[in-house]
Each structure stands twice: as C-alpha cells, then as structure tokens.
Chain A
C-alpha cells in the first residue's frame, strides 16, 4: 500500500504524538519534537504548494478502499481552496509553537499535534465518512486541551463546546448516512465519496431541505454563525492560548470550508436559494458580534466576539455567489486567521505576564513593550482593514461581492465593517497606548523566539496586502470552477 504526501502530512503529527505519549520523553523534548514536526510539515506543504498546478482539478489524490461493504473510501485530494488553507495552517502552527515555547506539559504538546492531524485530515477528505471521522476525531484533543489546561470554569466550558459541536455533527452524520442510502438507491452500489454523492438525483425537495439543514447546522455551530454562538464566549475565554489560537484561526474556518466543500456541490440549488438568508445572517452577525465585542471589558472575550464578527463576514462572502465575494472570503480566511491568531497569541502573553484580562486595568503597554506594540498594531490594522494590509483587500472584495449580490446588502456591509472595526482602535488606545497610571510593570517585551514566530504573520499581512496577486492566481481557477461548473452562475 502506497502513501502519498497528503497522508504523510496528516499522519506524521499523529505518529509523533503517540510516540511521545508512549516513550518516556520529557515535556521539553516533546515540545522540540512537536516543533520539528511542524517544520517538517511546513516543508512538505511548501512542496505541495509549489507543485500545485494552477487549475481547478483535485490534485495529489489518494484513493483506497476502506470498508468495502459500504463503499467507504480513504480518499484524499486538494484543490485551490484547500491549498491556501493548508498553507495557512503550515505557516501558523510553527509560529504558534514558538510562542507557546515555555511552561507547557507533555499532554499539551501531544494534544496540539493531534489537533493538527485532525485539521489537515478534515481538509483533505474527499469521502463523507472520512471527513466525519476527522471532523469528530478533531474534537477529542480539543476537549482535552481545554479541559486540562484551560482557566476558569474549564470543565464546564469543555463539556459545553463538546456537547454543542457533537450535536451539530451528529445531525450531519444522519444527513451523510441518508445521502449514502440515497446514492445506493439511485445507483445500486454503495459509496460515500463526494464525487459520487454529488450525482444523486432522486431526492425530493423536502428531503434535500432536511439534509441541507443537517449539514448547515454542523457548520454553523463550528463557525459560529448567529444564533449558534452561545458556546463561543466561555470557550474562548477559558481556553489556554494554544487552544484558542487553533479554535479561532483554523477550526472556525473549517466550518466555512465544509460549506464550500460539501454543501455547495451536493445542494447547489438550495445553496443559491438560501444565499440571501446567509448573506444577511452574515451581515447581521458582523454587526451583532461587533456591538457585543465593543461592550466587553475582558480583552479575550472582546477578541472572541470580534473573531465571530469577521467569520460572519466570511460567510457573507461565500454566499455572495460571485467571484469577488468568494475570492474575498477565501482571502479573509487567511487574513483573519493570521491577524486573529496573532492577536490571541499576543493577548495570551499579556495575560501570562500580567495576569490581567480586563481592558480598563491595562494601559501603558506601549512604553514597556514597544516591539509587542508594533506587532499588536499590525494585526489590529489588518483586522480593521486598513489599506496596505490583507484585511483591506479581503474586506473590500467581499463588499464588492455583496454589492454585486444585492446593492442594499452591499451598503449595509460597507457601513457595518466600519462600525465593527471602530472599537478595535478604542481598545488599542485604552489597553496599549494610553498612559493611565495602571501598574503594568510586569510586562516584558517579546523575546527573540516570539519575534521570529510573529514575523511571518506580520510579513504576510503586509505582503498580501500590497501584492495580492501572488496568492490569487492559485485559487482563481477553483473559484471559477465553483461558480461556473457547480453553481452554474455566469457573470
């Protein structure tokens, strides 16, 4: 049996994790191994990235029978959309590891490695059962990392996020099984492969609606989309930095990815039909979470809401049904992951050094830690969408896309982005810049490792902002394929 490069990318971290778990290795060496693994994965992903042909085809495919009786395949592949998320993951994870360098236990690193395996597995799966397998499997290390290393009422938060996400995924499971059975009735043999499932044509509208709802529920909870966000606040504020980093910058995006990868090709008609609902839901989320963020005193909670706010905007983009919106959404996935991920790391450090999470109790950080402040500022500008950062490009494109979809929605979204971003400056001013006499003498500036970890993110934020075409050309054919071939929209 042969393994391709994608399998190696999935299973290498898992293998290292189990090896570390079994062998009597110290926490320090486990960390070194984890970092080394993430670098290896980065190199492998770079190879994939540069060998990826600029077409809309599925590439690097692997295909093996897994459970023959029910046509479950071990089927992997990537297209342009998964490629950029993959590249993102490969860059983010080693950077984050540099930030989490000190004071973590073995279990922490093992969980991080397992989460990485789960994420990439989810990203590559081209079989619905395999996808579910990773999607659900990914939850276990998240469960562990929040429960074991979180703060506050961590056990309750853990149970809450687990129950929420499993509720969603179980209904998705039913939908998957139903699709498999429908395929069997349709064609006379079993298969759960995506390329087969999309051919189903014997479902009634009512059936399709329910199945669509089953999938959307799972993804909406993961993103989270209003009104399925109630797990968000507690989980983000009680998670350890590494956990919240992965949750916000990568796992939430997988919800969006799932919509594009599965919901769009399987239910193209419903996707178009319900697009207005989700566009408005996204815009509403942008506003609602933006306002909620503004009112938070706890800085972590504020970022949690601001993150959800942008995810709403991403959803608006992917449902805008045109190339601007979708490209913008893909771009915002990257931009947001870098900026929010970076911010959570920075805030995590601040919390670690000072033990303070409340914005009014902070202030004067800029004087104590200038490098910290610079990076904080770059991330913040990307979130706000200042021209010259990748945040600007992506938000601009989504607004354009929304205009194309519906001018009213376009106007609202353009205004909302401004509102939703304004609080960021306010926070920056209060927590970092202002000299209000609070005692922040415990704050230390970034170490060399932390600077090295943050540099790629900062560099990409600006590079992607100045010359976005570097990144567009890989994904453009894929987006075109989604719109023209799958959704059959011509514009």
Chain B
C-alpha cells in the first residue's frame, strides 16, 4: 500500500533511485555509455511522468507537506515545486539527449558520469522542494558537489581540472555564507523553516531585526554567487568555459533555474523585510551585472565564452524581475519564471548545438571558425541563428516575449530606469549575437572541416527546441489545447499562488 504522501515524493524518489542504480551498474565493465544514458533517461522519464501526474491530479494550485510527522515541513510539494521540477527534469533529459554524441566521442566519460548527473538533478529538485534552510543547503550541496566532479570529468584536460578546482574552492566559500546566514536567522527567529521565518520577522518585539537582515543578506550573497551576479561573477567565465560543453549547457540553463526557484520561494514567502531592505541595493547590482556582463560578452572571441558572459547579462534581466516583486507580486514572479523558461530553451539550444558541432574535433571555438558555416550546414546555421535571435530578444522568438514581460514589469513597478538600462544592454547584445549570424552567413569558408552531419538524436532534439522557441514567440490559441504563451504564464501564476496556501 503506497501512501498518498509517497506519491507526492515519487519524482524525487525516482531520480534518487536512478542515481544509486547507476552507481551500482557502473561497476560492470560491460555497460556502455549509451546504455548508461538510456538507464538515466528511463528514471528521468519516470520522474517526469510522476511529476506530471502530481500536477495534473487534483487542484491546479496545491501545496502539501508530505510525511509531515517525519519531516516536519522540511519538504514541500506544491505547484511551484512541480513547475520547477518539470523544467529541471526536462533540462536533464534534454542535456543527456543533446550531449550523448559528445559523451560518446570523448573516451574519458564513463557510466559513473550519469550517476553523478542524476545526483545533481536530485539535489536541484530537492532544492526547489525545500521548505527549510538546512534542507535547501543539503540540496544545493548535493547538486554542487556533483557538478564539481562533472566539470573535471575529462581529467586529461588541464583546463577541466582547473575549472573544477576553482569552482570547488569558490563554491564552498559561498556555501559557508549560506550556513552562517542560516545560523544568524536561527539566532534571530529560533527557526529555519520558511514561512515561520516570515511570520517571526514581522514580530519586531521578539525578533532581532538586524541579525535577521544580516543573515538574509548572507544567504543572498550565496545565491548571487551561484547565479553569477555582480560582484560575484568572476569565476563564471573560467569555470563555465573550462567545463565540457554539455555540462556548461546544463549549468547555465538548468542549475540556474533551480537556484532561481529556491530564491524565489525564499524571497516571496519569507523575506518581505529583507526585500525592502535590499531592493535599492539590488538596483545597483543589476545595473553593474548588466554592464559588466555586456562588456565581457563584447570582448570575447570564443563563442563559448561569449555565451557564458552573456548568461551574466541574462542573470541581470532576471534580477530585474526581483525588484518588481514587492510592487507586483504575481505578475512579476510569473515574468521571472517565464524568462527562465525562455532563457533555458535558448541557452540549452545554443550550447547544445555548439557542443554537438565541436564533439568530433575541437576546432570550432571562435567566431572566425564559423565563417561560412551556413554553406556547409544550412539547417544547423538556421537553428543557431534562431537561438541567437531568441537570446537577443528579437520578436517572433520566445526570448522577445520573455523580455517583454520583464521590461513591462519593471516599468509597471516604477523602475523605468532599470528598463532603459536593460534595453541598452539588449542593444549591446545585438552586436555579439548578430556577429555570429553575420559570420556564418556572410563569409565564404575556404575549407571544410569535419562537422558531424545533421542526423541522430541530438540534432532532432535541438530542432525541437528551435521550434519550441518560435512557437513560444508567436504561438497562442491557434491550435486548441496546445500549450502556448498564455499557458506558460497561467502555469507560472498558479505556481506563484501555491506559495501562499501552504
């Protein structure tokens, strides 16, 4: 007899189980990478089905604490966590499908990699399900530790080792801030449970407000570090660049979503006080993040580094959504979630396609290497262009709708200056995104290097992402019952509302 509470935890269970099974399986030499990947995919798909089942059955907005007598509100399952789990599991599935070609070409990758991969997914899902600071820390560290190893998995390449080590040291340092912040908050309020902290923070008599703000600030520092916001962005370029491309894609798209998921919950439910305190400071953080990210992106010659640097700029856009939360609530939160999805798709597509292109050789890394690429691989060039356009926020892509929501929210909440700064950053981004399109289409390439052909799983998946990006940009209720922009927004709103009924 399976209890109802257990059904709620099935998605987490499947991913965790998959990680352990893969760990055991990886001891058998006979298992190939492809088989390992398929096994991982099976568990992810099971988790996805369980998660969709949870979301589809019952109310549109739900919130439960499974096994409350055991976990005591440490873990929460609501529409919000369900929605983010969809993003995370989908991100993991897509990363494996896209990266498989790459993993198979590099002999250092073994089946253990997928075990680590599932552990990291488990950590991220745990993070968005966490309703308590220590649990969140556990989730964050499970995900981070797995990533440290995944980054350095190709151990014959020095850059990988360097990136892994750098991330390990800096990431642990950032983690310490989180712990210290938790301790402060516990000192101020006597609890680490989200929701109760919020209630306590309003009680000015018994709560030490200063301590609470310092604690909250420290936790925010950890998150600003993880999402590569200014002034904690310097590690990103070297670490992301040093990581294998599929892992970079995974970190930039999926890991970021998980962190934003948790910090959204924390900010919305708990940190009214800190939010007010931080909103002004955040404006400067955003402006500097946008400015510095744009600067970094403009000066890069390597495509991968440009994409990484531009992900800093996208972090800036996302943070703009945060400043609108106080004034707007629902629509600001849903704009953040929508932008996350938009960025998730575009970044995964861009990184994924480049990783596919470079999986056979290591030649195509700079802009110049893509000269005349459209002649050799017209469809790949077209897809890459779609991703660039979406990242730049050109109409008819999902990136435009995402920017539309974020900017409208900023203006609506009175932060027109931020909207203008963001527009200027967008303007600069046209340069580095369009440069790739120009290079691919406007030059003739003298020699044909070996680019993998457009067949197999990875290109198919990438093509689907490209179609999804266009659909997200123009789609509406044209096709009945097919989710379009409005559907994503409604879902995001439902997940926001589920935060308040727990």
Contact = CB atoms under 8 A, between A and B. Distances in A.
Interface of A: 1, 64-70, 74, 129, 132-134, 136-137, 140, 143-144, 147-148, 154-155, 158-159, 162-163, 166-167, 170-171, 173-174, 177-178, 180-181, 184
B484 to A, nearest CB: 9
Given A69-B489, A147-B438, A177-B411, A162 B420 contact: no
Contacts of A67: 401, 476, 485-486, 489
A129 B438 contact: no
**Closest A-B pairs by Cβ, 10 of them:** A133-B395, A147-B442, A181-B412, A181-B411, A69-B489, A136-B395, A170-B423, A177-B408, A155-B442, A66-B476
A18 to B, nearest CB: 11
B141 to A, nearest CB: 37
A66 B477 CA distance: 7
Interface string B423-456: 1001100110011011001110000000000000
Interface string B394-428: 11100011001101100110001001100100110
A174 B441 contact: no
Interface of B: 331, 389, 394-396, 400-401, 404-405, 407-408, 411-412, 416, 419-420, 423, 426-427, 430-431, 434-435, 437-438, 441-443, 476-478, 485-486, 489-490
Given A65-B477, A170-B423, 5 more contacts: A74-B476, A155-B443, A173-B407, A177-B408, A178-B411
Contacts of B438: 147, 155, 158-159
B442 A158 contact: yes
A140 B473 CA distance: 15
Contacts of B420: 174
A154 B489 CA distance: 41
Nearest to A74: B476
A391 B394 CA distance: 38
A279 to B, nearest CB: 30
9 contacts: A1-B478, A65-B476, A69-B486, A69-B490, A70-B408, A162-B434, A166-B430, A167-B427, A178-B411
A11 to B, nearest CB: 11
Contacts of B434: 143, 159, 162
Given A136-B395, A181-B412, A173 B389 contact: no
Nearest to A68: B486
Interface of B is mostly: helix
A182 to B, nearest CB: 9
Contacts of B419: 174, 177
A434 B485 CA distance: 63
Contacts, number: 82
Contacts of A170: 423, 426-427
A171 B423 CA distance: 8
Nearest to B397: A137
Given A162-B430, A170-B423, A132 B442 contact: no
Nearest to A170: B423
A282 B348 CA distance: 48
Given A166-B427, A173-B423, A137 B394 contact: yes
Interface of A is mostly: helix
Contacts of B395: 132-134, 136-137
A133 B441 contact: no
B63 to A, nearest CB: 23
Contacts of A178: 411, 416
Contacts of B443: 155
A150 to B, nearest CB: 9
Contacts of A181: 408, 411-412
A1 B411 CA distance: 34
Nearest to B401: A67
Nearest to B394: A136
A380 B120 CA distance: 71
Contacts of A158: 438, 442
Given A129-B404, A177-B407, A181-B408, A140 B389 contact: yes
A217 to B, nearest CB: 12
A85 B407 CA distance: 33
A158 B476 CA distance: 33
A252 to B, nearest CB: 21
A144 B426 contact: no
A134 B430 CA distance: 17
Contacts of B489: 67, 69
A153 B423 CA distance: 28
Nearest to A185: B412
A177 B396 contact: no
B493 to A, nearest CB: 8
Name, among A69, A133, A137, the residue most crowded by chain B CB atoms within 10 Å (CB to CB).
A69
Contact of A174 (B407, B430, B476): B407
Name, among A65, A68, A129, A154, the residue most crowded by chain B CB atoms within 10 Å (CB to CB).
A68
Contacts of B476: 64-67, 74
Nearest to A155: B442
Contacts of B412: 181, 184
A218 B394 CA distance: 16
Given A66-B476, A69-B489, A147-B442, A137 B408 contact: no
A166 B389 CA distance: 13
B396 A133 contact: yes
Contacts of A180: 408
Name, among B404, B416, B435, the residue most crowded by chain A CB atoms within 10 Å (CB to CB).
B404
B442 A137 contact: no
A133 B474 CA distance: 10
A140 B419 CA distance: 24
A136 B441 CA distance: 20
Nearest to A135: B395
Contacts of B394: 136-137, 140
Nearest to B414: A181
A1 B480 CA distance: 10
Nearest to B385: A140
Contacts of B431: 159, 163
A67 B404 CA distance: 11
A1 B479 CA distance: 9
Contact of B441 (A66, A132, A148, A163): A148
Contacts of A69: 331, 486, 489-490
